[in-house]
């Protein structure tokens, strides 16, 4: 196979929906399978595809694209030995951990997909890996129809990217949650923070985070840090302390 | 004074520049003073104002707006006893800590201002406080010419907002720095993270952070957390562990 002209999709979650809808028009989406048949039917309808009631009913295609949660990837792919080419979309799962001897690949979009949110896929970096060069090239070409940033990366690199993604996405979201809880406790609306939150990340589009750093810990302002710690308790205090200490340390020899 | 028709500005940093430029057209900016006379002249020129070489040369105005770093606010305001109305722009400094008996106010923009970045001030929340109602109202009216979100808040509330701002701005930026350092160590570009970073915060415009949380700790996926910790060391590992533990705890009774 040099060009992927048809696919079948396993999964009906956010990744399956976003990638499926973007791929329609570039390839023929033949069928969709999902353990939840209602979701399967709904997505299949959106993609003008056949809704498979069982995994065995999935229509053969140039590529089976597996868009499901990490813990089911290995067991589902094990059941796809009839299909010559299979790729999954996870950052954390190494190809070596999948029980399949050939025709295995990865197409990992480094983005968080959510219902009711439009993602400009052209800007999303996709990381490609496959167990042979022809398949890797075919996956690359397919993904190039979706995004301007398609890169080959092995399982190790992908794991590193996934870890970094957890830090900037999951942890940053949790810090906003902790700030929200703190303000709620003081009877204030967390939404006041939204323009600042937006600017914090918008700034990074043309400034690296080392130079973009501001705030009491960046200035070595121990008095404000102490005043803030006195207003906090529990894990939020611990998190404030650890992060402030680390910012202080990062810049201690800088000025 | 019912309406503020003229101001003089102390300071020539990012806050002075952004607020000064936005205020021109709404009020007459009479003069600017900054210990750095070059910066003072440059800003004064931008604001069609008189550049004061010494603090004593500042032209009397309805309002003296003090836009300088926290540690100098008290000592500078102490020297302004000739001027009837003075306001500063800091979130962290309580009015009680300023040695001035009357005509003192605050106008705190909850935003991070940087050179070379345009901020839509209409969206920025401003918090107003003053030692008398007439002055508070005048500050409110002045600020309303800049922003749609002007709110009265006492020193206590402002300190809380400032703490929350440190968490969502300073700490989130530092986490991006740590992710960058991790990827640099693995010979990968941190810029791959930018679309994800943008989406993480864009999502919060219409979803609260509790519901927006995703990732291994949110799913209780101990295997991925352990794999990530094995790839980390030093403070980054400690920060990963503390934040993951806290996310696990936050959602432990949720599903």
Question: Are B231 and A163 in contact (CB < 8 Å)?
Answer: yes
Mutate to test the interface with A, among B117, B124, B246, B251 (most CBs of A within 10 A): B246
Task: Determine the pLDDT at residue A222.
Answer: 92
pLDDT for B199-226, tens place per residue?
999 999 989 999 999 999 998 999 999 9
Report the Cα B110 to chain-centroid distance in Å.
4
Contacts 24+ apart (CB under 8 A), B219-225: B219/A69, B220/B248, B220/B251, B220/B252, B220/B255, B221/A70, B221/A71, B224/A70, B224/A92
List chain A residues with CB under 8 Å of B232.
163
Query: Which among B165, B176, B190 has the least Cβ separation from residue A196?
Result: B165
pLDDT for B87-135, tens place per residue?
999 999 999 999 988 999 999 999 999 888 999 999 999 999 999 999 9
Question: Are A177 and B117 in contact (CB < 8 Å)?
Answer: no
- How many residue contacts between A and B have a Cβ separation below 8 Å? 280
Whether the CB-CB separation of B77 and B101 falls below 8 Å is answered with no
Tell me how close the Cα of A60 comes to any Cα of chain B, in angstroms: 32
Question: Are A179 and B199 in contact (CB < 8 Å)?
Answer: no
Query: Which among B168, B215, B227 has the least Cβ separation from residue A193?
Result: B168
Question: Are B200 and A112 in contact (CB < 8 Å)?
Answer: yes
The residue that leads in pLDDT, A26 or B101, is A26
pLDDT tier for residue A46 given thresholds of 50, 70 and 90: very high
Instruction: Provide DSSP, B145-165.
Output: TT-SEEEE--HHHHHHHHHHH
Contacts 24+ apart (CB under 8 A), A17-22: A17/A43, A17/A46, A17/A113, A17/A115, A18/A113, A18/A119, A18/A121, A19/A65, A19/A67, A19/A89, A19/A109, A19/A146, A20/A46, A20/A47, A20/A67, A21/A46, A21/A47, A22/A121, A22/A146
Mutate to test the interface with A, among B149, B177, B247, B248 (most CBs of A within 10 A): B177
Task: Determine the pLDDT at residue A116.
Answer: 85
List chain B residues with CB under 8 Å of A209.
173-174, 176-177, 180, 190
Task: Determine the pLDDT at residue B181.
Answer: 98
pLDDT for B136-193, tens place per residue?
999 999 999 999 999 999 999 999 999 999 999 999 999 999 999 999 999 999 999 9
Q: Report how far residue A224's alpha carbon sits from residue A216's, in angstroms, rounded to the nearest whole number.
A: 6
Contacts of B205 (CB under 8 A, 6+ apart): A194, A198
Cross-strand pairs, A20: none
Share of chain A above pLDDT 90, in %: 93
Nearest chain A residue to B234, by CA = A246
Whether the CB-CB separation of A228 and B167 falls below 8 Å is answered with no
Question: Are A197 and B204 in contact (CB < 8 Å)?
Answer: yes
Mutate to test the interface with A, among B169, B206, B214, B221 (most CBs of A within 10 A): B169
Look up residue A220 and give its DSSP letter.
T
Mutate to test the interface with B, among A74, A110, A199 (most CBs of B within 10 A): A199
Q: Report how far residue B212's alpha carbon sits from residue A173's, in angstroms, rounded to the nearest whole number.
A: 7
pLDDT tier for residue A253 given thresholds of 50, 70 and 90: confident
Mean pLDDT of A185-199: 97
Look up residue B220 and give its DSSP letter.
T
Task: Determine the pLDDT at residue B94.
Answer: 96
Asked if residue B67 has pLDDT above 90, the reply is yes
Tell me how close the Cα of B21 comes to any Cα of chain A, in angstroms: 19
pLDDT for A69-102, tens place per residue?
998 999 999 999 999 999 999 999 999 999 998 9
Of A231, A223, A229, whose CA–CA distance to A241 is shortest?
A229
Q: Mean of the per-residue pLDDT values for chain A?
A: 96
pLDDT tier for residue A255 given thresholds of 50, 70 and 90: low
């Amino acid at each position: 196979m040099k060009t992927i002209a048809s696919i079948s999709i396993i999964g009906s979650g956010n990744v399956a929906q976003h990638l499926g809808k973007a791929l329609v028009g570039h390839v023929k989406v033949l069928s969709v399978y999902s353990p939840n048949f209602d979701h399967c039917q709904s997505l299949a309808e959106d993609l003008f595809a056949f809704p498979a009631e069982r995994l065995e009913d999935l229509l053969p295609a140039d590529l089976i694209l597996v868009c499901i949660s990490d813990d089911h990837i290995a067991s589902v792919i094990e059941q796809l030995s009839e299909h010559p080419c299979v790729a999954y979309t996870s950052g954390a799962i190494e190809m070596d951990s999948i029980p399949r001897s050939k025709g295995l690949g990865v197409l990992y979009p480094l983005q968080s997909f959510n219902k009711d949110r439009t993602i400009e896929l052209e800007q999303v970096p996709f990381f490609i890996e496959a167990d042979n060069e022809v398949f890797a090239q075919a996956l690359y070409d397919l993904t190039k129809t979706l995004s301007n940033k398609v890169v080959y990366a092995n399982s190790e690199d992908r794991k590193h990217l996934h870890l970094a993604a957890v830090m900037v996405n999951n942890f940053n979201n949790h810090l906003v949650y902790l700030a929200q809880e703190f303000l709620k406790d003081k009877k204030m609306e967390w939404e006041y923070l939204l323009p600042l939150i937006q600017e914090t990340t918008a700034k990074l589009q043309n400034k690296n985070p080392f130079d973009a750093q501001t705030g009491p810990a960046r200035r070595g302002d121990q008095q404000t840090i102490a005043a803030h710690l006195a207003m906090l308790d529990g894990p939020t205090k611990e998190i404030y302390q650890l992060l402030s200490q680390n910012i202080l340390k990062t810049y201690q020899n800088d000025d």
